[in-house]
Structure 1
Amino acid sequence: MLCIGVIIVAAIVFVLISGIRIIQPYQQGLQIRLGQYIGRLNPGFNWVVPLITTVIKMDLRTQVLDIPKQEVITKDNSPTNVDAIIYIKVINPEKAYFEVTSYHMATIALAQTTLRSVIGDMELDEVLYNRDRINGRLRDILDKATDPWGVKIEAVEIREVDPIGTVKAAMEEQTSAERRRRAAILLADGNKRSAILEAEGAKQAMILRAEGSRQSKILEAEGTRVSRILEMQGQAQALRLMALGSAPLDKKAITVLSLDTLAKMSNGQATKIIFPFEISKVIEQSAKYLGATEETVGELGKPTDVNSLVGQPDDVLGKIPNPDELRAEVATIEDQLKKDLEDTATTATSLKKKMPDAQHDVVHHDAGPDLK
């Protein structure tokens, strides 16, 4: 009897323990008793009627489903292998369990057929370049179709678009031809820009040479003018000083200077001497100077007589610039030349700006398809 009682107690304990259900935080439990849906079980510890109650645990986390690779014919009859991945989430556990046998398999099968339909309405180039558009269309179509199942399509991503061998070879040839075309365009554009820059440089060099030659001639002419002015003013001053110095000389002094000149001429090596004056007059004046006659020779004139004869020095020679005035005039010339150089640089810059832009932008787009 004791053994039977222990067995009965153990059986009762086992039955009670079998009614315990632990629901994880990311799960939702569905309680079915004798073929009738009773309700949901919240996460944590739950106890149900044992033996006659079935608990279905539904995962409410986002799940990733892999759509197998399949061959799809595009609108331009290009066979292409395409696969994708889908992110889904159960938002209504009752519908996900009771409305469809397996929402995983149903979603994958529906995604395969929808992907084939969407890709079949597009050309291969559109498939390669408009993945975002394809993803958006697939998400909208699948989300609408799976809504009765209590499943939400969160995202669809095309993972790989792989054209078959012959199509891929043709695309690679097209990419190679496009790259050769772009290289030829870039080379021609570079040669054009180089020729334009060369011509522009030659033009600027000619302008600078012409400007330099002009400025050099201006400086040379100005220097010659200043040099001649200074030379003539020096000669005028020398003549003026000679005139002022010779004014008080009398005939005796002139006679002595003439004899001194004859002595210097006689010391030369020449065999023929030409006298620029009458020698008899010199001898006569010399005799008078030595006392051969008592007649006294008067003076030629006084220093003040020169002004009456040749005029005032300032009237005859003009204003003679001093060194400071000459330096100021040279500085003025240098400033004018500097201004001319600045005007030339400004003119060259404006001419360069007016030239049409030789650089043409080449549209750098990847003509080759992304074969990932």
Structure 2
Amino acid sequence: MQWIGYIGIGILVLLVLLVLVTNIQIVQQSRAYVVERLGAYSATWGVGLHFKIPFFERVVKKVSLKEQVADFDPQPVITKDNVTMQIDTVIYFQITDPKLYTYGVEHPMNAIENLTATTLRNIIGEMELDQSLTSRDVINAKMRSILDEATDPWGIKVNRVELKNILPPREIQNAMEKQMKAERERRESILQAEGQKQSQILVAEGEKQSTILRADAEKQAAILKAEAERQAAILKAEGEAQAILNVQKALADSIKMLNEANPNDQVVKIKALESFEKAADGQATKIIVPSEIQSLAGLAASFKGLLEDEKK
């Protein structure tokens, strides 16, 4: 019978260990546990290892401290000019006080949704349709301020509110689409006209530059041509001057040689006759013959007559 007692003790020890293990709680990062003792709030456990007193304490809520997102269904709202729209909102919130979140309000998410719908109706009801469609930032800021203040006693902080969709009635949507289409067509026409204007400006600028370049090229060509003609004239003049110098030098040399040879009068007259012959070959219509050459011509005629007499 003794072994039966050992078995009972072993079972009891196992039960105690099982109870102890099941009452050990490990709280993870970004989470918090709200604990009650004998039905009353006892503590809020943060990150780490905790032991719950068996049968006396219990974890009533495990709360996430991360930022959370609540996407609510579209809510019907009426604008100041009596237009009914469907607006759905998205709320980004965070639990800052787990105790208030647990005991502050029953069903916190339902409470936030109803509060969001009421706040949205109040804000949109003070605006006309056009203003509500173009004032999303203003509506978001107002809703965030109102909701954050209202949910503070619940241990909730509203970080951001966004209007996800704004859906006006179908006929208004059609009118808005037509207006947007007309605006797009108007902008397209303006852009096309501006493009054509810029294209014409570019073409005119190109023609202007082409004309300037062509005129500049013609100017440069004329300058080069004039320079070439000037150089040719200079070279021609230099050539003629050089030829004259050569002739003068040859004449001077011949005179020098004659002077050195001490020619008689007959040689001088013959040389003069040769010069007269060359002058006669020119294009002049009148020739002035010096008297010495005339005498020499008479002498040549007499000499020619004597030759003819000898032949006879």
- With normalisation by structure 2, the TM-score equals 0.68
Q: Deviations over 1:169-202 (max 9, x none)?
A: 2222122111111111112222222223333333
Is 1:284 aligned to 2:288, yes or no? no
Tell me if structure 1 keeps the 8 A contact 2:115–2:147.
yes
Please say which of residues 175-184 and 193-202 is displaced more in the overlay: 193-202
RMSD: 4.0
Distance 1:227 1:92, change over 3 A: closer
CA distance in 2, matches of 1:237, 1:45: 125
- 1:200 matched to which residue of 2? 205
What are the within-5 Å matches in structure 2 for residues 45-194 of structure 1? 45-48=50-53, 50=55, 55-62=59-66, 63-194=68-199
Deviation of residue 152 (structure 1)? Answer: 1.9
1:103 to 1:285, Cα distance in 2 relative to 1, 3 A: farther
What is the Cα deviation at residue 142 of structure 1? 0.6
Corresponding residue of 1:42: 45
Are 1:253 and 2:256 an aligned pair? Answer: no
SS in 2 for 1:121: coil
Q: Deviations over 1:307-330 (max 9, x none)?
A: xxxxxxxxxxxxxxxxxxxxxxxx
Q: For residues 288 and 163 of structure 1, do their structure 2 counterparts lie closer, same or farther at Cα, with a shift above 3 Å needed?
A: farther
Distance (whole Å) between structure 2 residues aligned to residue 260 and residue 104 of structure 1: 135
Paired with 2:138 and 2:188, the residues of 1 have a C-alpha distance of 32
* Shift in alpha-carbon separation, 1:231–1:128, aligned structure 2, 3 A: same
Report the Cα offset of residue 221 of structure 1. 3.1
Maintained 8 Å contact 1:67/1:112: no
**How has the CA–CA distance of structure 1 residues 158 and 145 changed in structure 2, closer, same or farther, with 3 Å as cutoff?**
same
The one-letter amino acid paired with 1:284 is: G
How far off is 1:138 after superposition? 1.7
Shift of 1:146: 0.9
Q: Give the Cα–Cα distance (whole angstroms) in 1 for the partners of residues 299 and 242 of structure 2.
A: 31
Question: Which TM-score applies when normalising by structure 1?
Answer: 0.59
Q: Distance in 2 between matches of 1:256 and 1:49?
A: 159
**Structure with the bigger percentage of helix:** 2
Distance 2:120 2:145 in 1: 12
- 1:209 match: 214
Instruction: Please state how far the C-alpha of 1:244 moved relative to its aligned partner.
Output: 4.0
Residue 99 and residue 237 in structure 1: after superposition, are their counterparts in 2 closer, same or farther (change >3 A)? closer
SS at structure 1 position matched to 2:73 = strand
Change (3 A) 1:285 1:41: same
Pick aligned residue for 1:228 from 203, 228, 233: 233
Q: Is the contact between residue 32 and residue 44 of structure 2 (CA under 8 Å) also seen in structure 1?
A: no
Tell me: CA distance 1:276–1:113, structure 2 relative to 1, closer, same or farther (3 Å). Answer: same
In the superposition, relative to structure 1, how do residues 282 and 129 fare at CA in structure 2: closer, same or farther (>3 Å)? farther
CA spacing shift, 1:60–1:207, aligned 2, 3 Å = closer
Q: Distance in 1 between matches of 2:145 and 2:157?
A: 10
Over the matched positions of the two proteins, sequence identity in percent amounts to: 35
Structure 1 residue 102 displacement after superposition = 1.6
Matching residue of 1:345: none
**Structure 2 Cα separation of the partners of residues 199 and 285 of structure 1:** 88
